[in-house]
A and B are shown apart, each in its own frame.
Chain A
Amino acid sequence: MTDLLARWSSGDASARDALVPLVYQELRRVARKCLVGQRSDHTLQPTALVHEAYLRLCRADSMEWQNRVHFFAVASQVMRQILVDHARARTAAKRGGGVLKITFSDDLALRRKPELDVLALDEALKRLSELDARQGQIVELRFFGGLSVEETSQTLDISPATTKREWATAKVWLYRAMKRGAEI
């Protein structure tokens, strides 16, 4: 793991490809551990998840900060992938239909905020990345990786002020692209 991160940070792209499945697996594993057996109203804290996965994979104390940064970059991408994959699977399942499902009292009443359309976000983010690759990365790290402004700045080696500003404007662009479907 450490080795892969080191190779990746020194520019070896194949190392990144090898990292993704590892991180993916670990995130799923940690998530399963958190969720299975928990109470149903348990809310997953993705940030904690990413941190725990990191600890497990890298044994933090022996790690260079540089590696940690790269790890979060991978983890954020992976998290995005997981959420998108899941949303796709769910849409597919809905279309597949056919089988009569057992109906249950749903607990929608307890949910405050409508769920974010992650597929639309993914699409919009792809377009934003074409316009501004760094903004795309910031969104990925801040939102999907759950990283703080400081962590994001360190990961991308930019100032916190820049991170804040880029994050704010990126959100407006995404909001408009998603909510209004506006072509910008």
Chain B
Amino acid sequence: MNPERWQRVKNLLARAVEIDPAERAAYLDDSCSGDVSLRQDVENLLLDYDAANSEFLDESDLAALASSALADHENLWIGRRVGPYQIVEQIGAGGMGEVYRAFRADDQYRKEVALKVVRAGGDSSFILSRFKTERQILATLDHPNIARLFDGGTTEEGVPYLVMELIEGQPITEYCDSHQLSLADRLALFLQVCAAVQYAHQRLIIHRDIKPGNILVTMEGVPKLLDFGIAKIVEVKPDSEISERTLTMFRLLTPQYASPEQVKGEPITTASDVYSLGVVLYELLSGCSPYPKLNSASQLAQFVCEGEPLKPSVALMEDAGRASTGTGAPGPQMANADKLARHLKGDLDNIALVALRKEPQRRYSSVEQFAEDIRRYLGNLPVVARKDTAGYRISKFLTRHKAGVAAVTAIAAILVLGFIVTVQEARIARRRFNDVRSLANSLIFDVHDSIKDLPGSTPAKKIIVERALWYLNVLAQESKGDLGLQRELASGYERLGSVQGDYLENNLGDNQGTLESYRKALELRKQIAASSPDWSDRLKMATGYRLVAHQLEGNGDHSEARDAIGRAIKISEALNNQKPNNLDILYELSFDYEVSAAVGYPGYPGDSVARERVLQDYRRALAVNEIAVRLNPDDVRTLYRYSVDLTDIGIILEASDAREALKYYERSLLIDQKVSQLSPDPRYQRSVAIDYGTIASVYDDLGDYPRAVENNMKDLEIYQDLVNKDAKNFLLRRGVAIAFMNTAASSVRTGQIALAMEYSNRGLEIMRELAATAPDKSYQQRKLAEMQVIRGIILTAANQPQAAIAEIEHARSIYESMYNAGASDQLKVAAADVKLGEAEAKAGHEQMAADHFQEALGIVRPMITKEPADLDGLYFAADAYSGLAELRMRAAQRPAETAEKRRADLTKAQAWFSDSLHTWQRIQHPYHTAPHSFQVGDPALVAKQLKMAEAAISATH
């Protein structure tokens, strides 16, 4: 056709459709005037006119095209970075989203992974939160036949994605067929799949979507389960609005492998996976689905819930029969089918059908049992799966014909059946009971412990422990008086408590929940101890009281805590008297004393009687641990606890008697040195370093600077050694920085200015780097500011007041930016002001210096006018007063001054010195370093200066 011709055809066509169909023939006769082919063209087009103008090229076509083209993530996702992953190509797609081949962009080996974008319908925030919880649980699945879940996150658009092991293989059914695997080989492969599912079930993870497409067999013949538990993440929220429709659609999507309860939307259990595995086994055995070919998903769904599948052997023969009718005579296929069917008949038929029973409780009670039955078949042992019992068939009949059967018949039948069923179920129940019990315990202890140190695993731990506890609770109610079970339950509650919020472990911050769990555990421990003759149950009761006390203390309820720990001590002391030198009892008793000290006594720490009692608790703990150490001299944990007791005593003593404290610290150092020789754990080496640092700080307090330097050097040496072994460890690097700084601070007082300059510089350098990258910004910032102040003090001593001012001013601005955070930051601002005043004075800026001292006083005055005064506040006030006094003294010494002005200056200086001295006198045990911060002046020097000022005044008269 040429353009001119088309114009004519087109116009005729347009006109023809506008006129009445009955008149079209006449119109065309007329218009075509004998041109037969022209008329034929128009008539052909007329035939298609309606079709072309109804649905053809309408908006839905474009929408569908555009959606598939633009939604096709070959366009959108390929080559894209998702988190740290680079997407390479799409390898699968389905209702839940798409799967891509990807690799970690920062991995030099470019190890490939499967990245699954989860795009299910429904409430995305719900999916996200579910995704977060489940991801952590799923990440714990570590089994050679389960594709690992490596990672997960959300894209910048907020779409969740999962990163999984990339598996390249064939669906198990295809694999078996293409490799023509024998029956035994198929069963062996299937058993591997069962083992993997069983492994997950032991962790209470249900697959929910087992189907051949999720069981891939690799080239090496290894089956791998994909998408474990993923179905749960993308499952729609049950009560959301769209859910009913979507849910129905979702269920209808793949009823081929879903269990009846899944199709009906009922609760899903491990038995659902047993069912799906049953369908897979059925297909592996017979080569066809257990369901007839049906027209729609809803018919199939109905069959899943109500239809009875054929025996695999029968299905196999029927299928082979159909195949041979297609080809004609029964061929070799038919003969093979016949042979195979004879193998299936009986046991394998029964095994598959037991797994496919409609009622979850009538299937194999676990995948393990399912697998065991297959193994029994392979080993020629009698299988557990038997044909449905007569009782079962009668009950089925009764349910099917509820309306039709006379009530009388039904009742009679039930009476007869009742007895059989009860006995049967009791036996099954017993077995299930033990299964559940061992499952719950393995969850609480094995699984919990194995994920204990995983960062971020806390919510997963809680879920695991809670689920397990739920089982134990049910069991405990069923069997009151079973001591073993009650003990397990109590341990379970103790675990749960520690996950919820025990303030010493990584926890969820649920303090009230912890307390409740500990109380439940204690209640159980009390009941057990009341009916058990075993002394260890009483010891556990003491532990129960101690845990409650500890948590009460953490929650701020001191008096109840006091009561609970008192009871714990009483029980443990009594046990210790009965059975001296028992390590378990000794440990509990020393723990009790330690908690008692931590709980404290009314009036602590101000009241001296309370302080004595705390000290006494620690001394008792120490005495008990001393016995434990004697009994078990090389046990690291015992030794370590002994050394902690020594340190705790030292800390209390240090406030009043630094020399006495030093003795304890030095003993602690000796123990820690022994521990660090026994154990390679670097944490113990760190505690040796900490001991040296603590000892050094006491020497600083006492003004014994050479010893302080010596000990700081040892502290530094250990930290440097540790950092060399673990260069990226943040805490260790910070330890080095602090050790450098402390060494510098003490050496400036021994006059080693050059050393102090070098070390403070190195410490500050490390700290600057850490503060820039640290996760906890405010803490590192404070630490940095502290070091800058110390550096400033050193610079002032080194006669570089300008540089000192710059450092301290920076520190002061850091503290000031945190001014509202609390009194300790305000104090630090005051401290920085004092140090700035000293540097400005050195620089000759007297007015600036005076302003800083005044500012410091303005801050600390409210803290020291009350009782008890803030100790650090007193130190800085004393320094600020003497700083002001020194400025006046300096003014008085200027030769140009008049006698009158000089006297006024001296009088003022005398007043400031006297204020300083009075402030010093309010400090009971004055040290050379303020308790929470920097080095300070010396009251003896102030007293001397006061005398000088007084002498100068009398000289003017």
What residues of chain A have their CB less than 8 Å away from a CB belonging to chain B?
28, 31-32, 35-47, 49, 79, 82-83, 86-87, 89-90, 93, 99-107, 109-111, 113, 115-116, 118, 121, 130-132, 135, 139, 142-144, 146, 165-166, 168-169, 171-176, 179-180, 182, 184
Contact = CB atoms under 8 A, between A and B. Distances in A.
B758 interface: no
B66 A83 contact: yes
Interface string B13-54: 110010000000000000000000000010011001101110
Interface stretch (B92-100, B194-202, B612-620, B868-876): B92-100
B60 interface: yes
B66 to A, nearest CB: 4
Nearest to A27: B70
Given A43-B67, A46-B63, A146-B59, A110 B171 contact: no
Given A131-B3, A131-B6, A143-B62, A40 B14 contact: no
Given A36-B159, A87-B69, A172-B45, A109 B253 contact: yes
B10 A39 contact: no
Contacts, number: 182
A132 B14 CA distance: 15
A170 to B, nearest CB: 8
A61 to B, nearest CB: 27
B924 interface: no
Contacts of A105: 94-95, 211, 213, 253-254
Contacts of A44: 63, 66-67, 70-71
B287 interface: no
A80 B49 CA distance: 24
B94 A107 contact: yes
B62 A144 contact: yes
A144 to B, nearest CB: 7
Q: Counting chain A CB atoms within 10 Å of each CB, which of B69, B75, B92, B124 scores highest?
A: B69
B63 A43 contact: yes
8 contacts: A40-B97, A42-B71, A86-B72, A86-B74, A115-B64, A116-B61, A168-B49, A169-B13
A179 B3 contact: no
B249 A115 contact: no
Contacts of A179: 48, 51
A146 B48 contact: no
For the residues of A in contact with B, the DSSP-based class is helix
Nearest to A135: B10
A47 B55 contact: no
Contacts of A173: 6, 10, 45
B13 A172 contact: yes
A104 B69 contact: no
Interface in B96-129: 96-97, 99, 114, 119-122, 124
Interface residues of B, number: 69
A178 B324 CA distance: 39
A32 B74 CA distance: 12
A130 B6 CA distance: 11
Contact of B74 (A41, A93, A103, A169): A93
A90 to B, nearest CB: 7
Given A107-B95, A146-B59, A40 B121 contact: yes
Contacts of A28: 70, 75
A103 B6 CA distance: 48
B13 A37 contact: no
Select the residue from A90, A103, A165, A172 with max chain B CB neighbours within 10 A. A172
Residue of A41, A79, A110 ringed by the most chain B CB atoms within 10 A: A41
A79 B170 CA distance: 38
B216 A102 contact: yes
Interface string B226-245: 10000000000000000000
A50 to B, nearest CB: 10
A172 B253 CA distance: 37
Interface of B: 1-3, 6-7, 10, 13-14, 17, 41, 44-45, 48-49, 51-53, 55-57, 59-72, 74-76, 91-97, 99, 114, 119-122, 124, 155, 157-159, 167-171, 211, 213, 216, 226, 249, 252-254, 297
Contacts of A99: 91, 168
Contact of A102 (B13, B121, B213, B249): B213
Nearest to A105: B254
Contacts of B3: 130-132
Question: Of residues B14, B67, B159, B226, which shows the largest number of chain A Cβ atoms within 10 Å of its Cβ?
Answer: B67
A168 B213 contact: no
Contacts of A82: 69-70
Nearest to B296: A109
A133 B584 CA distance: 96
B45 A131 contact: no
Contacts of A144: 62
Contact of A172 (B7, B53, B159): B53
B170 A171 contact: no
Q: 7 nearest interchain CB pairs?
A: A104-B94, A175-B52, A102-B92, A86-B69, A37-B157, A31-B70, A103-B213
B65 A116 contact: yes
Contacts of A87: 69
Nearest to B252: A109
B277 to A, nearest CB: 17
Contacts of A102: 91-92, 99, 114, 167, 213, 216, 226
Contact of A184 (B1, B157, B213): B1
A175 B48 contact: yes
Nearest to B17: A168
Nearest to B249: A110
A47 B61 CA distance: 12
Given A105-B254, A146-B59, A175-B56, A132 B6 contact: yes
Contacts of A116: 57, 61, 64-65
B69 A83 contact: yes
B44 A79 contact: no
A37 B77 CA distance: 12
Contact of B63 (A45, A109, A166, A169): A45
A152 B41 CA distance: 28
Given A44-B63, A106-B95, A107-B94, 6 more contacts: A37-B159, A82-B70, A105-B254, A132-B10, A143-B61, A173-B45
